[in-house]
């Protein structure tokens, strides 16, 4: 009897939890311009909130965009903190986190690279707070200290 009651309570709790608004997937707003594309050539796409858009030079980039290039594709990026990135062919890079508000002391640049080749040149975020800039790959985390770095991630 008691066991039955607690089961009911549990069920009620589960149901209530289900009614609560779902936690946002990303803590940061996604409609923020964080930079723009340069030197786009060959096949290249921006994946924005699940939708794939053709990438074009001088197009604006939003937080959480994923950049993708095909076998003949390559592209360059200048972010709002003056960080400079580029991707070679068959590459994928997610712009996971971007915060550049020195006045509010909010600084962060985290990218996730899942395949291909890329270059990264530190901008103001990395200069102001080196530990705020990171590149994640499936095999390691890359932390730059004011510099230019090349990264290659092979398919698996």
44's CB contacts (< 8 A; 6+ apart) are 54, 55, 67, 68, 69, 70, 73, 74, 75, 87
- DSSP, collapsed to helix, strand or coil, labels residue 85 as strand
Span from 11-19, 23-31, 46-54, 112-120 in contact with other proteins (CB under 8 A)? 112-120
The window from 8-16, 45-53, 75-83, 104-112 that contacts other proteins (CB under 8 A) reads 75-83
Among 55, 63, 122, 125, binds other proteins (CB under 8 A): 122
- Name, in order, each residue with C-beta under 8 angstroms of 43's C-beta and a sequence gap of 6 or more: 69, 70, 71, 72, 73
Q: What is the DSSP string of 31-59?
A: --EEEEEEEEESSEEEEETTEEEE--TT-
* One residue of 30, 39, 49, 52 binding other proteins per CB under 8 A: 39
CA–CA–CA angle 53, 86, 72 (5° rounding): 60
Task: Give the nearer residue to other proteins in terms of CB position, either 51 or 154.
Answer: 154
Number of residues that bind other proteins (CB under 8 A): 42
87 near other proteins, rule: CB under 8 A: yes
Distance CA 56, CA 44 (A): 8
The yes or no reply on residue 28 touching other proteins (CB under 8 A) is no
From 75, 107, 125, 132, residue interacting with other proteins (rule: CB under 8 A): 75
Q: What tokens does 115 get?
A: 């395949």
Of the two residues 27 and 58, which places its CB atom closer to other proteins in the complex?
Answer: 58
Out of 9, 49, 70, 146, name the contact with other proteins by CB under 8 A: 146
Smallest gap from Cβ 39 to other proteins, in A, equals 5
């Amino acid at each position: 009897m008691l066991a039955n009651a607690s089961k009911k309570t549990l069920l009620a709790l589960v149901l209530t939890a289900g009614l609560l608004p779902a936690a946002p997937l990303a803590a940061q707003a996604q409609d923020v311009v964080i930079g723009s594309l340069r030197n786009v050539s060959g096949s290249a796409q921006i994946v924005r909130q699940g939708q794939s858009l053709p990438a074009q030079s001088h197009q604006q980039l939003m937080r959480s965009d994923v950049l993708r290039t095909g076998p003949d594709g390559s592209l360059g990026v200048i972010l709002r903190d003056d960080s400079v990135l580029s991707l070679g062919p068959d590459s994928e890079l997610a712009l996971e986190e971007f915060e550049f508000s020195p006045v509010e002391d909010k600084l962060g640049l985290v990218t996730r690279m899942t395949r291909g080749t890329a270059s990264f040149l530190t901008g103001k975020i990395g200069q102001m707070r080196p530990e705020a800039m990171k590149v994640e790959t499936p095999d390691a985390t890359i932390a730059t200290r004011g510099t230019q770095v090349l990264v290659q991630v092979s398919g698996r």
